[in-house]
Amino acid sequence: MSMDEIRVEDYLKELEVPNPKIQLMIASIRKAILVYGSQIDKEHFVFLEDRINKDGERYYDALNIITKSHVVSMIQYKEDLTEEYSIVPIANKILAIQTSVIEYDFSQNTDSKSRMKIEVRFNGGNSLYLTAVKSNCKHLNFVLQEYLIPNLE
């Protein structure tokens, strides 16, 4: 396991992802790098979208590799084990960013009730949505500050 994979594994454990699912996610990242490797910079950030349902259960959605120039998203569907990979260029293509937060303090970064959602609108009409809950909000804020805001047109 590479240092990047160890860092990703630690991040996923912080988000309370079950261990078998962590291994599946790392395998998905490896596949995405095989497919889109030429577009994935050495400097990248892995971000897992998560949310809480009305019963208080945590769910994990798309896994993203975010670079200064692209976002690669990976989704695995449980029903038929279909894996879906997509790539969106972001370098100087972001028209607007809308950030919504609930009980999140940008200076303290963590709260068990924190929720954060970002909508990114691109020239050409496409949008990207990223969500985070609890301690993952600090990671989404990092993505916002380091990768998204610098790419506003």
**pLDDT for 94-118, tens place per residue?**
999 999 988 877 766 666 788 999 9
CA–CA gap between residue 96 and residue 55 (Å, rounded): 33
Residue identified by tokens 């909000």 is: 137
Percent above pLDDT 70 for the chain: 92
Q: Check: CB of residue 70 under 8 Å from CB of residue 88.
A: yes
CA–CA gap between residue 15 and residue 90 (Å, rounded): 26
Q: What domains lie within the chain, and their CATH numbers?
A: 3-151 (2.30.29.30)
Q: How far is CA 151 from CA 55, 65, 93, 140, 147, in A?
A: 37, 16, 6, 16, 7
**pLDDT for 117-128, tens place per residue?**
999 999 888 899
Say if residue 77's pLDDT is above 70: no
CA–CA gap between residue 77 and residue 69 (Å, rounded): 27
Say if residue 82's pLDDT is above 90: no
Say if residue 1's pLDDT is above 60: no
